Amino acid sequence: MLQALGPQGFLINVSRGTTVDEKALLDALKTGQIAGAGLDVYEHEPSIPGELFELPHVALTPHIGGSTLEAAQEQEACVLANIEAFTAGQPPHTPVPL
């Protein structure tokens, strides 16, 4: 995948840290295989490879990609829908396994 991005491409990961092999990413960044990266999640959170901090073409954030007004509104709507379903005697829309 990194090779497919090419030297003009940027890798952005806001999904799961395990989606990206950080060693392969570091190699691609150091050799110019890709242009840069933006990471909000990390392979071994909370541990982040120190080398990522040293690269000028990498932007790092502390796992806050889901901290938006829209995300909070969706979470609230989900909770309210589950409460409404429960009080109506129906199963919740998003049950939590025990």
Same domain, 86 and 74: yes
Same domain, 58 and 18: yes
Given pLDDT bands bounded at 50, 70 and 90, which one contains residue 65? confident
Taking Cα atoms as reference points, which of 30, 19, 34, 20 lies closest to residue 52? Answer: 30
Distances from the Cα of 25 to the Cαs of 51, 53, 64, 84, in angstroms?
11, 13, 21, 45
For residue 8, the model assigns a pLDDT of 97
Q: Does residue 28 carry a pLDDT above 90? A: yes
Same domain, 74 and 94: yes
Asked if 40 contacts 18 with a C-beta cutoff of 8 angstroms, the reply is no
Active site residues: 16, 45, 63
What domain range is 96 assigned to?
Answer: 68-98
For residue 60, the model assigns a pLDDT of 96
